[in-house]
Amino acid sequence: MCGIVGYTGSQKAAPILLEGLKKLEYRGYDSAGIAVLNNKVIEVNKVTGRIANLCERTADGKNCPGTVGIGHTRWATHGAPTDTNAHPHMSNDGKFAVVHNGIIENYIALREELIQKGYRFESQTDTEVVVHLIEMYYNGDLKKAVIKTSARLQGSYALGVVCTDEPEKVYVAREASPLILGVGVGENYFASDVTALVSYTRNAIYMDDGEFAEITPDSITVFNPAGQPVEKKISRITWDVGSAEKGGYEHFMLKEIIEQPRAVKATIAPRIKDGEIILDETELTADYLTSINKIVITACGSAYYAGCAGKYAIEKLCRIPVQVELASELRYSDPLIDEHTLLIVLSQSGETADTIAAMKECKNRGATTLAVVNVVGSTIANTADFTLYTWAGPEIAVATTKGYSTQVSVLYLFALYAAKKMNRIDDKLYNDLLECLKTLPKKIQEAIDMNSAISTLAKKYHGVDSMFFIGRNTDYAVALEGALKMKEISYVHAESYAAGELKHGTIALVEEHQPVIALCCNEAIMEKTMSNIVEVKARGAEVLAVTFKDNHKIVSLADDVIFVPKIEMIFSAAVEIIPLQLLAYYVAKENGCDIDKPKNLAKSVTVE
Ligand code: F6R
């Protein structure tokens, strides 16, 4: 998805903008550009393809004098990825340049209106209407022009604007698209993502919907939609620069897989004190929890699959119905949600458009909302009634790994916490499960250590056309995420099935040498999954089984076996997923794929 950055200060702007854009590369993009203001003239450089091309064109920014500028990485939505459609976009009089994240939904009507008034359009983008509206409304006061322009826009936007008449200033505006201001000394910044800011400042202001801001080297003033100044809190960014960089690993994805024990520990350990789970960021009291009649979990993609894994733990321990719903479906389903529903919203980025919309829909129907989010100050975190952060640190690879395992870990904590509050668990079981949960980071580390040879196995399983992932119950939840990991980064068609469903149709597809990844960590129903392994073997499948250490029953059935450490069944998803993440990674590597930036995908899906 698109990314924006901006700078005003006394240093050369272009190198800072380019560095910021490089930090946003992980979000996925197809073109990039910068606009720098120098001597009351705006110089724009934009290119299709990588930021490296932009660096080459501008000699790493050295060829662009000027200390104020804006930059953008574009992920095409309206119009092909071309130099012309890349941002920044200029006004016809050359006075304004604009960068934009999001989608202007009423751009066709605005475009027609502006064309009739004589404005000339260069691109096919929705964004270009913004710069011409500003030009139309400008009469010497940029602030007023931004207010009037914002009032005409429907949809989502994070905007950055520069103007030759106000050469030290940058204007920004936000509606339903992330925007963060970086507070410096004698210089200030903005970006759509804190990763672009951490090298320069740790002091950040998170903008809210409807707000806009005037940024100079020495001041930041944030305004409400009516143009009145609002007090904003300066938050401290705790992510370190190192964790936003590769640190010697070939890919961010591998680094982030390896970081999971630390990420899960950082997420759960501070919330366990003196034998109790403390979720003091929430007000989920015993009275409240016993007043609800169901829990709905909503999310997209891997976060949705994290919800599927969490459902088993919550239902098992709390004995309350848990529905897991795709956010893009829930929002349009006229959902049966009221004040007796607790809605749990899972999102790494906190900015996924469908998840935000589903959450708002459910909030309007009376649900209490609990967000599980990684990015501090993100829209979902700010909109929810309560937020439990996953302390995974920045996740850069497009395919989530530590985002997923930390989400699952928070659901485990929640399950145990709620069961205790609701009086659905005895002290002995609570204490035993809590002790087990504390070992989760260690078990994840063991799962990583036990699978260092998975790269060899990937040599056997790469280059195939399709794979099936099967499992039952908790194993099925992991199969869903395992298949998604495989398809999104290695481009191998991978499907997951509840193992018992195979014989209801899918088994027709199983032929000689068809790879089937069989998840068998759930002891209670292992015999059943083993029968399914026998069924697919009988049709010639090549079976790679994942099971817990020392389970030798499977060895004689499967062609290959991956072991993971044994852990309480309801907590096993966070451990079991590790070898599947590694397998997807190494198969993708064998297939020669761009692992951190898979084709057609973006890190943060901020459009519907
Ligand atoms: C897959 C992946 C996506 C995200 C999904 C939701 O590896 O990363 O499926 O899980 O786009 O994103 P968040 O969690 O940011 O809401």
Alpha-carbon distance 172 to 174, whole Å? 7
- Name the residue of 257, 260, 300 to mutate for ligand 1: max ligand atoms within 8 A of Cβ: 300
User: Residue 591 phi/psi, 5° resolution?
Assistant: -80, 0
Q: For residue 300, how far is its CA from the centre of ligand 1 (angstroms)?
A: 6
Of residues 364, 329, 345, 339, the one with CA closest to residue 296 = 345
Q: Which atom of ligand 1 lies closest to the CA of 303?
A: 10
Provide CB contacts within 8 A for 238, sequence distance 6+. Answer: 202, 376
Helices (H), 471-525: 474-490
Residues with pLDDT less than 50, the chain: none
Stretch(es) of the chain classified as CATH 3.40.50.10490 = 253-438, 448-590
390 in contact with ligand 1, CB cutoff 6 A: no
Q: For residue 90, how far is its CA from the centre of ligand 1 (angstroms)?
A: 33
Provide CB contacts within 8 A for 54, sequence distance 6+. Answer: 18, 21, 32, 33, 34, 45, 46, 47
374 in contact with ligand 1, CB cutoff 6 A: no
Of residues 541, 513, 518, the one with CA closest to residue 529 = 518
- Name the residue of 1, 298, 325, 349 to mutate for ligand 1: max ligand atoms within 8 A of Cβ: 349
347 in contact with ligand 1, CB cutoff 6 A: yes
Query: The CATH number of 3-245 is which of 3.60.20.10, 2.40.50.140, 3.40.720.10, 3.40.640.10?
Result: 3.60.20.10
Please tell me the residue having the least CA distance from ligand 1 atom 16: 347
114 in contact with ligand 1, CB cutoff 6 A: no
303 in contact with ligand 1, CB cutoff 6 A: yes
pLDDT tens per residue across span 192-210: 988 899 899 999 999 999 9
Tell me the DSSP string of 524-542: GGHHHHHHHHHHHHHTT-E
- pLDDT for position 1: 65
Q: What is the CA radius of gyration of the chain?
A: 25
- Give 354's Cβ-side CA count (13 Å radius): 18
Please tell me the residue having the least CA distance from ligand 1 atom 5: 301
Please tell me the residue having the least CA distance from ligand 1 atom 3: 301
Tokens of 195: 């990763």
Stretch(es) of the chain classified as CATH 3.60.20.10 = 3-245
Q: Which atom of ligand 1 lies closest to the CA of 604?
A: 15
Q: For residue 305, how far is its CA from the centre of ligand 1 (angstroms)?
A: 10
- Name the residue of 251, 330, 344, 348 to mutate for ligand 1: max ligand atoms within 8 A of Cβ: 348
415 in contact with ligand 1, CB cutoff 6 A: no
Could you tell me if residue 464 is left (phi over 0), alpha (psi between -120 and 50 degrees) or otherwise beta?
Answer: beta
Q: Which atom of ligand 1 lies closest to the CA of 605?
A: 11
pLDDT tens per residue across span 414-473: 999 999 999 999 999 999 999 999 999 999 999 999 888 899 999 998 888 999 999 999
Active site residues: 2, 603
Of residues 196, 161, 198, 163, the one with CA closest to residue 178 = 196
352 in contact with ligand 1, CB cutoff 6 A: yes
481 in contact with ligand 1, CB cutoff 6 A: no
Please tell me the residue having the least CA distance from ligand 1 atom 9: 301
Q: For residue 404, how far is its CA from the centre of ligand 1 (angstroms)?
A: 8
Q: Which atom of ligand 1 lies closest to the CA of 399?
A: 7
- pLDDT for position 178: 86
What DSSP character marks residue 105? T
Q: For residue 53, how far is its CA from the centre of ligand 1 (angstroms)?
A: 28
User: Residue 559 phi/psi, 5° resolution?
Assistant: -75, -40
Please tell me the residue having the least CA distance from ligand 1 atom 6: 300
Q: Which atom of ligand 1 lies closest to the CA of 355?
A: 16
173 in contact with ligand 1, CB cutoff 6 A: no
Specify the 3-state DSSP secondary structure of 181. strand
Q: Which atom of ligand 1 lies closest to the CA of 302?
A: 10
392 in contact with ligand 1, CB cutoff 6 A: no
307 in contact with ligand 1, CB cutoff 6 A: no
Query: The CATH number of 253-438 is which of 3.40.50.10490, 3.40.50.10140, 3.40.50.1820, 3.50.50.60?
Result: 3.40.50.10490
Q: Which long-range contacts (CB under 8 A, 24 or more apart) does 484-487 make?
A: 484/301, 484/302, 484/305, 485/302, 485/399, 485/401, 485/580, 485/581, 485/584, 486/580, 486/583, 486/584, 486/587
* C-beta atoms surrounding 51 within 10 Å: 22
- pLDDT for position 509: 85
356 in contact with ligand 1, CB cutoff 6 A: no
Q: For residue 478, how far is its CA from the centre of ligand 1 (angstroms)?
A: 15
Partners of 277 in beta bridges: 272
Which stretch of DSSP H or E encloses residue 388? strand 386-389
Topology of the domain comprising 448-590: Rossmann fold (3.40.50)
In this structure, are residues 354 and 328 in contact, taking their beta carbons and an 8 Å threshold? yes
475 in contact with ligand 1, CB cutoff 6 A: no
User: pTM for the complete prediction?
Assistant: 0.77
Alpha-carbon distance 76 to 279, whole Å? 41
